[in-house]
Amino acid sequence: MTIESPIAAADIAVRTDNVWKIYPQEPEPVEAVRGVSLEIREGDFMTMAGPSGSGKTTLLNMLGGLTRPTRGRIWIRDKEITTLSNKELARLRLESIGFVFQAFNLLPVLSALENAEFSLLLRGVPAEERHRRVRELFEEIGLEGLEQRRPGRLSGGQQQRVAVARAVIGQPTLVLADEPTANLDSHTSDALLDVMEELNRQHGTTFLFSTHDPRVMERARRRVSLVDGQIASDERA
């Protein structure tokens, strides 16, 4: 059974309430995330930054349902994900969350189109509809004509665009991007950020970046800073 957030609002995509993540370790436990309460609005284009060990990747993984908090509560829209079973969490990730990783994580034996449509395939969307949606998105983000190329025949920037397409094709509530520009040169990074900004503006896609890249932080309309597992600042541009 899920418990609705007592303060759920139509424009809130994600909410956390006093979330902690504590890892058992000798000689004493490690408090990676310490009592974080956060609201992410629909359509936010925001960064989460902090020094190594600040807890940003751990928090990102908890928001994505990849790691369970030690205590505290997390909602995706009005669904509390901290009460879900592993099977229910997997379904929620498939339907509501998109992931972009710095290593791209594309399947090498699949074409660009097949990689991008993979979540739609898992959701049972018919092939004709999958292909149509991917081709329209590829045209929008500058991948038209590359549908049948496998990742090994794509540049780093093209591979990351395919990864972004895969993340957004299912119209998720939230896209979590973990250092998405880390392996890209400055020109390619700027082009990728242009794509994600346009998706945010045109479709209202909510993006949360975990990043050290000042170019990403400059683009963000909201910047959250973590220090020692806690929010040190939360500013809107």
Residue 150's pLDDT band (cuts 50, 70, 90):
very high
pTM of the entire predicted model: 0.89
d(CA 179, CA 187): 16
What pLDDT does residue 6 have? 40
d(CA 50, CA 34): 14
What pLDDT does residue 7 have? 40
Q: Which residues fall within 8 angstroms of residue 182, CB to CB, at 6 or more apart?
A: 102, 212, 213
Pairing of strands 207-210, 174-178: parallel
The encoded tokens of residue 79 equal 């669904």
| Mean pLDDT (the chain, rounded) | 91
Residue 135's pLDDT band (cuts 50, 70, 90):
very high
- Indicate the helix (H) or strand (E) that contains 48: strand 45-49
Topology given in CATH for the domain delimited by 42-60+95-236? Rossmann fold (3.40.50)
- Provide the 3-class DSSP secondary structure of residue 96: helix
What pLDDT does residue 10 have? 55
Residue 228's pLDDT band (cuts 50, 70, 90):
very high
83-131 pLDDT, tens digit each: 999 999 999 999 999 999 888 899 999 999 999 999 999 999 999 999 9
pLDDT > 70: percent of the chain: 96
What pLDDT does residue 5 have? 39
Contact indicator for 168, 98 with CB cutoff of 8 Å: yes
159 to 45, 107, 152, 190, 192: CA distances (angstroms): 22, 11, 9, 15, 10
Given a cut of 80, whether residue 9 has pLDDT beyond it is: no
What pLDDT does residue 103 have? 85
Over residues 4-21, the mean pLDDT reads 76
Q: What is the DSSP string of 17-54?
A: EEEEEEE--SSS-EEEEEEEEEEEETT-EEEEE-STTS
Neighbours of 79 (CB within 10 A): 18
162-199 pLDDT, tens digit each: 999 999 999 999 999 998 988 888 888 899 999 999 99
69-86 pLDDT, tens digit each: 999 999 999 899 999 999
Given a cut of 50, whether residue 15 has pLDDT beyond it is: yes
